[in-house]
Chains A and B, each alone.
Chain A
């Protein structure tokens, strides 16, 4: 166990977890902000996909 089983450990766990969660989810947000660039690759014909579904 990296975090000690004490109140100080609970504070440390909470602080590190909350901080890292913000960083990680911001990273996901950043990646999503780049998603419009995918549209430069072209467009998918949805009608064609729907016609051929199994």
Chain B
């Protein structure tokens, strides 16, 4: 009788995940819990970190069927793997975004490319550390500070690195208010940070409607590999700007966007299983991501200073740091650093120009990279 009872207990234990639990799972559960803590108590990107943290915890409980084929988390991951989710995020972002600052001051658009030197520093660093050229390219794109684009390029170049790259990209985006200001202050004088920008011109409705159509055509013509993302960004923006499909624009920007965020965060978190995540490569990718952000911020500021050598009306070089694509975090950081010097200097509207251009800069860099590496 007792033997039978022990046999049943053992059979029951085999049905659970206890048999396969190891210290790595415990570490990843702690990482997931830390993400939720940062989201709740520090308000660091809560929309992203709550879902990622929870899915990370569940994915590290051995025996959980959710991440296995047929499980709900696995279906969410398929949305990312099949490149359905990233373009839909861009669709929602487009419906929320006012591209007026970018249209109004086109000369600042170049900062959207200048701030991407970090991509290439990280790419070369990754290659030097022994990653393949495709893996190095995917790691470099972290420096673009554009989550959906990082996921998109990674899925094309090195899908096995998705968990590390997406976590590094979104974590550093959340930490930009801590990462960027020291670099910005190091590379600018107080006099430069005090520069007040001239007010931008008004952008007409006709220009706002023409913008997504023109950009949509250009991107599909010149950068087909990344066209799905930018095309959807432009479709969302067209819905917003035409003013006649208000309810579609609101759905894209609110309801649909929220659903996509839930699917995306669960998908990313579900890839953070200890056996694939706790490796030296992960540490290297995280460090390279930080290098990319630091160099991107620096090159953007230096690019703005370089422009000032040729411009009659000087621009505030803090705007250069906003050329990193993370919208609107990078623009907000530039604005806040300027405010520290002069409480009347509101840079936010001006900073949105290079910030939005940074989205295109990352897409262009990613598109050229995919083309040069022969990936469609």
Residues of A near any B CB (own CB < 8 A): 1-7, 9-11, 13-18, 20-22, 24-26, 28-33, 35-36, 38-39, 41-44, 46, 49-50, 52-54
Residues of chain B contacted by A17 (CB below 8 angstroms): 119-120, 365, 368-369, 372
Instruction: Provide the main secondary structure of the chain A interface.
Output: helix
B180: shortest Cβ distance to chain A, in Å? 20
Residues of chain A contacted by B126 (CB below 8 angstroms): 10
Question: A33 contacts which of B106, B124, B368 (Cβ < 8 Å)?
Answer: B106
Instruction: Provide the main secondary structure of the chain B interface.
Output: helix
Question: B109 contacts which of A4, A29, A36 (Cβ < 8 Å)?
Answer: A29
A11: shortest Cβ distance to chain B, in Å? 6
B351: shortest Cβ distance to chain A, in Å? 16
Question: B112 contacts which of A5, A7, A25 (Cβ < 8 Å)?
Answer: A25
Task: A25 to B215: give the CA distance in the assembly, Å.
Answer: 11
**Does A7 lie within 8 Å of B127, measured CB to CB?**
yes
Q: Which of A14, A20, A22 has the most CB of B within 10 A?
A: A14
Residues of chain B contacted by A4 (CB below 8 angstroms): 133
Residues of chain A contacted by B211 (CB below 8 angstroms): 32, 35
Residues of chain B contacted by A2 (CB below 8 angstroms): 372-374
Contact A13/B373 with A25-B361, A49-B244 known, Cβ cut-off 8 Å: yes
**Does B110 lie within 8 Å of A18, measured CB to CB?**
no
B231: shortest Cβ distance to chain A, in Å? 15
Residues of chain A contacted by B132 (CB below 8 angstroms): 5
B160 at the interface (CB under 8 A from A): no
Segment at the interface with A among B47-55, B189-197, B201-209, B278-286 = B201-209
B102 at the interface (CB under 8 A from A): yes
Task: A43 to B360: give the CA distance in the assembly, Å.
Answer: 28
Count chain B residues whose beta carbon lies closer than 8 angstroms to a beta carbon of A.
Answer: 53
Listed from nearest, the 4 A-B pairs whose CB atoms lie closest are A14-B120, A10-B127, A32-B106, A29-B109
**Does B205 lie within 8 Å of A44, measured CB to CB?**
yes
- 29 residue pairs of the A-B complex, CB under 8 angstroms, read A2-B374, A3-B133, A5-B134, A7-B124, A9-B127, A10-B126, A13-B137, A13-B372, A13-B373, A14-B120, A14-B140, A17-B369, A21-B365, A22-B114, A28-B357, A29-B106, A29-B109, A31-B218, A32-B109, A32-B211, A35-B211, A36-B207, A39-B206, A43-B206, A46-B205, A49-B244, A50-B243, A53-B246, A54-B244
B260 at the interface (CB under 8 A from A): no
Residues of chain A contacted by B124 (CB below 8 angstroms): 7, 10-11, 14
B26 at the interface (CB under 8 A from A): no
B103 at the interface (CB under 8 A from A): yes
Q: Which of B243-261 contact A (CB under 8 A)?
A: 243-247
**Does A3 lie within 8 Å of B373, measured CB to CB?**
yes
Residues of chain A contacted by B369 (CB below 8 angstroms): 13, 17
Q: Residue on A with the closest CB to B209?
A: A44
Task: A33 to B247: give the CA distance in the assembly, Å.
Answer: 31
Q: Residue on A with the closest CB to B375?
A: A1
**Does B374 lie within 8 Å of A18, measured CB to CB?**
no
**Does B360 lie within 8 Å of A39, measured CB to CB?**
no
Q: Residue on A with the closest CB to B245?
A: A54
Question: B247 contacts which of A20, A24, A29, A54 (Cβ < 8 Å)?
Answer: A54
Residues of chain B contacted by A35 (CB below 8 angstroms): 103, 106, 203, 207, 210-211
**Does B106 lie within 8 Å of A20, measured CB to CB?**
no
Task: A9 to B374: give the CA distance in the assembly, Å.
Answer: 13
Residues of chain B contacted by A38 (CB below 8 angstroms): 204, 206-207, 210
**Does A25 lie within 8 Å of B109, measured CB to CB?**
yes
**Binary contact readout B108-124 vs A (1 if CB under 8 angstroms, 0 otherwise):** 01101110110110011
**Does B123 lie within 8 Å of A13, measured CB to CB?**
yes
